Every structure is written in structure tokens, then in C-alpha cells.
Structure 1
Amino acid sequence: MNKTISILGCGWLGLPTAKQLVKNGYFVKGSTTSENKINLFKDLKIEPYLISLENLSNSKISDFLKSEILLIAIPSKNIDGFKKLLTYISTSTIKKVIFISSTSVYTAKNNIVTEKDVLESSPLLEIENLFLKNKQFKTTIIRFAGLFGYNRKPGNFFMNGRVIPNPNGFVNMIHQDDCVNILYEIISKQIWGEIFNACADIHPNRRDYYIKVKSDIGVEQPVFEEKDNSPFKIVSNKKLKKALNYSFKYPDLLKINYNSPDL
């Protein structure tokens, strides 16, 4: 297997994934929109590229795409930008793509959602379909739930008296370490042409969860919109766990110490 991988977007999720891949013997090309990160990438043995989805050109991206695998880890919903990116991918050596999406594509209807659920039209879903319909390479879509870990602490969400809606709904979240491990497993096990939900096993209600995470880090207690009984959704991770034989590092969101320096 060719062990060269390009990661479009080495930010909160892309950078630790790149570090994990380098650690395991992969040659990683990483993109950023910030010149300040160039030396950091070099120190981490990541070949740096300055690339913006909004300003693509063949001269800027052609060498970056000289890989077998492309991981797309940018949160943009710029449909035209992705269409242009696809024209460059289609003429490159890329054979496999991982596109990081979100469980926000699922509509809340007071039910458990799986990868087989019918989805309503949205920009993110349209971008997913652009990749899935392209037959010049194989795409695996990862729909991550709410992201947390390290400098992204759930206890800091809804600060300064901001009211938390739907306290009787359920939490769908995933730690950064599990995200990185899942991405590595997909790459190392060569799982292509699939769609996966990625979410922790246990789904506490929003009231219990935000009381805990704020208590753990010692900030103001949450304020809830008590009259809000909006529809909820519970994201199923069964397909992912079975395909990868994966066990979550952080399966139960209520058993985590959110004040831990290792979190």
C-alpha cells in the first residue's frame, strides 16, 4: 500500500490525525490557510502546503494531490469550492477519499438515526453526494457527532448565562481521540465506499450532561429553556463499531472527568 496521505485541513482534527499517521510510518502532506503553521508542520514531519478552498488553482494544489489517499477535514459548506476541488482530484493520483461530515445531516424526529435514514436536502448533504457520485475514486464518509476534547471543553459551551435549549433531549458527542483512532482504523484497514456515523455509545440527556460538565470545570451552572421540548435524535454507531471492530476510548460521556488535564 502507498503510505502517502494528503490531509486538506490540518486544524483541530486534521493535525492530530496527521501526527498519528506520521507516528505509524505514513508520509503526510498537510494543508493550512495560515503561514504561521508552516514551521510547526515541518517540525512534526508533515509536508506543509498553503491551500484555501476559496482560492484553488492547479499550481497550488497539484503537488499536494500527488497521493493515494485524501482526507478532507475542513468544515466548509462551499459547494462551488468543492466542485472545483473535485476537478483537480479527478486528474490527480488520488484513489481514495475520506470526507469528514457531520451528524447534523440527520433531522431530529425523536428517534434513533442510522446511515440508512432518508435525509433532507442541505448544503452538507449535497457536498457528500458530489464525492459519492464520483466514480474515479472511492469515498468513505464519516459523520461525526459533536466534537470535544482538549481545548474544546463542553463545560465552556453556553457561557455567560446563555440558555441551553431542549434539556430533555439527548447528547450526541465524540472525543477527539476517538475521532483520530477511527480515521486511522479506516485508513489502515482500507475501508472504502462506506458511510459511517461516529458517536460515543452512551447518550445522556442534555440536562444531566451540562450540569456535570460545568460542575467538573467549576464554572457557572447551566440555565435551561424548560419549556423547550424540541424533537431529539440519538445517533447510532453500530455500523461503525461492527465494520472496524472498534471500542471507544470514551464510550460513556457521564463517566469522564472533564477537568482532567489529559482530556
Structure 2
Amino acid sequence: MKSVSIVGLGWLGLPLARHLKNLGWDVKGSKRTHEGAEQMRLLRLEAYHLELTPDLNIDPDDLTALLSVDSLVINIPPSQYFFDLNHYVQGVKNLVNEALLHNVQHIIFISSTSVFPEISGEFDENIVPQPAGDIGKALVEIERWLFGLTDIDCDIIRFAGLVGDDRHPVYSLAGKQDITAGGSPVNLVHIDDCARAVQLLLETPSYQRLYHLSAAKHPTRSDYYTQTAEKLGLELPHFICSAQDPQRIIKADKISQELGFVYQYPDPYLMLPTER
């Protein structure tokens, strides 16, 4: 039985863990609080408390159990609210170094398309990222460091804006007025596609790979969120559209071309959340 640990059993990590467990994987994971780890255990997931401070704040026996796996998925989004970004970078490096000491064979790092600035252009995996914000800079530093490792399979997957049944930007935009960049395209990906893409990478380790994940269609923010709010019976948002709105497109068909991945949600209009 193949085994995997998911560091970060949050909004994405928990569904991913359940998905892999349903496929027969031996799945473990971590939360950064004792209470969170206990909640995961109540859901019948083997879970441990792990906090990056940036030292690994975890019981040594628990660390051994967490890292006694074939593969490690690092799913800890950097946040200026929860982490000092320098601590975040060093914490991820410390975690990876421990994984290497425990003979983990395959690492997947969940990154973000926020490594690219909000400017016009088509951004595929060949474009060198030039992040404008500190979070993007932290992600790029980790990406480059990971691809400097040898003797281990390592994948980096950059997700576009995440959407799921209980998470959709339309809820925070509903009813707002004079929202800028209404003419800019959306770059979104559904959580189900994210889980299936990570599964595919886990099943096909091959040294070092970099992939984007984003739906192929990119309606404008104004069209998409207005129509989505209307379908959900929400108060309509009002956008300001300008000819100067950045036309930023995330290209994400490399994983399909190389690994045969098929998006279940290639169009953001297929990502309508279940009504609240």
C-alpha cells in the first residue's frame, strides 16, 4: 500500500486526504494545533500536531510516524497573518530536510500562481516568475530551493484561485460597488481537480516537475461574478471595467499534454457552488 503524509489538513488538505484514502492510500497528516489534530482523529484520520516556528514543533515520535511514508505533500499556504515569511521559508526547508533524513522518496509542494504579477500576459510554466508581493517571493524561494535538491522526486504544482462547494469568491463580492479590474479575466480551479492532479503526481513520480492548474476558460471578472451572483440569488456586484485592466492569463495545459490529465471543470461557469 502506498503511503502519504499531508502537512496541512485544511480546506484543501482534508478533502485530498479523504480522496486518497478512498483510493486505498495509507494517509497521514498534520495540523498546527493540538485541537486541530484531535478533530482530524475524530474523522478517522491519522493526524499529528506540527507547527513550523520555524523549528519543527512536534513530538519526536510523532515526527517519525508522520514521515514514515513514501510521499510527502506540503500544503501550508504562506500567510502574513499567521507566519513571519522568513520563518515560513525556513520552516518548509526544515521539514523537507527531516523528510530526507526519514527517506521520504517523493515531495509535492503546493504553490500558487501568485508568483506571477498582476500584469497582462500569458503565464505558463516556462515563464520565470517575478512576484510583486512578499508571499509570492517566499514561494519562489522555496520552489528554487526544492529544485536544487538531488536524489529525490519533487513536484511543484501552482494552483490558480481555489473554488469549491463551500468556497467561492462570489460570496465576498456580492453587493459590493465599484469593484476595479472588472475587465480582467478570472483564473480559477476547482478543488476536485486539485485533488485529482495531486493524485496523478503521486502515482507517477518522475524526478522534478512543475505544473500549473487552472481552468482553460477565463471569462471577465465582471461577467463571471455578476452571472454567478444572479444564478445564486445573491445581490449583484458592480464592477468598473477599463481598457487598461490587466489581461493576465494562467496557462495550465502542460499537465494535460504530459500526463494526460483531464479537467472536470475546464470552465469556471461549471464551478457554481451549492446554494447556501
Verify same fold: TM over 0.5: yes
State how 1:96-245 maps to structure 2 within 5 Å: 96-120=106-130, 122-159=137-174, 161=176, 163-227=178-242, 229-245=244-260
Over residues 29-62 of structure 1, what are the superposed CA-to-partner deviations in whole Å (9 max), with x where a residue is unaligned?
Answer: 1101233344543354421100112251472523
Unaligned runs of 5+ in 1: none
Could you tell me how far apart the structure 2 residues matched to 1:36 and 1:85 are? Answer: 21
State which drifts further: 37-46 or 83-92: 37-46
Could you tell me how far apart the structure 1 residues matched to 2:94 and 2:204 are? Answer: 29
Unaligned runs of 5+ in 2: 79-84, 132-136
Please say if residues 8 and 72 of structure 1, whose CA atoms lie closer than 8 Å, have aligned partners that are also in contact: yes
Root mean square deviation of aligned Cα? 2.2
Q: Which residue of 1 aligns with 2:81?
A: none
Could you tell me how far apart the structure 2 residues matched to 1:253 and 1:161 are? Answer: 21
Over residues 118-147 of structure 1, what are the superposed CA-to-partner deviations in whole Å (9 max), with x where a residue is unaligned?
Answer: 222511100111211121422100000000
3-state SS of 1:204 partner:
coil
With the length of structure 1 as denominator, give the TM-score of the two structures.
0.90
Could you tell me how far apart the structure 1 residues matched to 2:114 and 2:201 are? Answer: 22
Supply the AA of the counterpart residue of 1:132. F
Please say if residues 166 and 274 of structure 2, whose CA atoms lie closer than 8 Å, have aligned partners that are also in contact: no
Please say if residues 114 and 197 of structure 1, whose CA atoms lie closer than 8 Å, have aligned partners that are also in contact: yes
Could you tell me how far apart the structure 2 residues matched to 1:15 and 1:43 are? Answer: 13
Residues 186 and 223 from structure 1, CA distance in 2 versus in 1: closer, same or farther, beyond 3 angstroms?
A: same
| Superposition deviation, residue 223 in structure 1 | 2.0
Q: Which residue of 1 aligns with 2:7?
A: 8
Please say if residues 33 and 50 of structure 1, whose CA atoms lie closer than 8 Å, have aligned partners that are also in contact: yes
Residues 7 and 194 from structure 1, CA distance in 2 versus in 1: closer, same or farther, beyond 3 angstroms?
A: same
Could you tell me how far apart the structure 1 residues matched to 2:119 and 2:271 are? Answer: 28
State which drifts further: 215-224 or 169-178: 215-224
3-state SS of 2:98 partner:
helix
Residues 239 and 166 from structure 1, CA distance in 2 versus in 1: closer, same or farther, beyond 3 angstroms?
A: same
Residues 147 and 89 from structure 1, CA distance in 2 versus in 1: closer, same or farther, beyond 3 angstroms?
A: same
Could you tell me how far apart the structure 2 residues matched to 1:68 and 1:220 are? Answer: 48
State which drifts further: 68-77 or 54-63: 54-63
| Superposition deviation, residue 158 in structure 1 | 2.4
State how 1:239-254 maps to structure 2 within 5 Å: 239-254=254-269
3-state SS of 2:66 partner:
coil
Over residues 185-241 of structure 1, what are the superposed CA-to-partner deviations in whole Å (9 max), with x where a residue is unaligned?
Answer: 111233541000100111111111110121122222112234583423111112111
Please say if residues 183 and 242 of structure 2, whose CA atoms lie closer than 8 Å, have aligned partners that are also in contact: no
Could you tell me how far apart the structure 2 residues matched to 1:143 and 1:74 are? Answer: 13
Could you tell me how far apart the structure 1 residues matched to 2:103 and 2:180 are? Answer: 46
| Superposition deviation, residue 167 in structure 1 | 0.9
State how 1:47-126 maps to structure 2 within 5 Å: 47-54=46-53, 55-57=55-57, 59=60, 60-76=62-78, 77=85, 78-120=88-130, 122-126=137-141
Over the matched positions of the two proteins, sequence identity in percent amounts to 30
Supply the AA of the counterpart residue of 2:77. P
Supply the AA of the counterpart residue of 1:27. D
Could you tell me how far apart the structure 1 residues matched to 2:96 and 2:269 are? Answer: 41
With the length of structure 2 as denominator, give the TM-score of the two structures.
0.86
Please say if residues 217 and 267 of structure 2, whose CA atoms lie closer than 8 Å, have aligned partners that are also in contact: yes
Supply the AA of the counterpart residue of 2:66. F
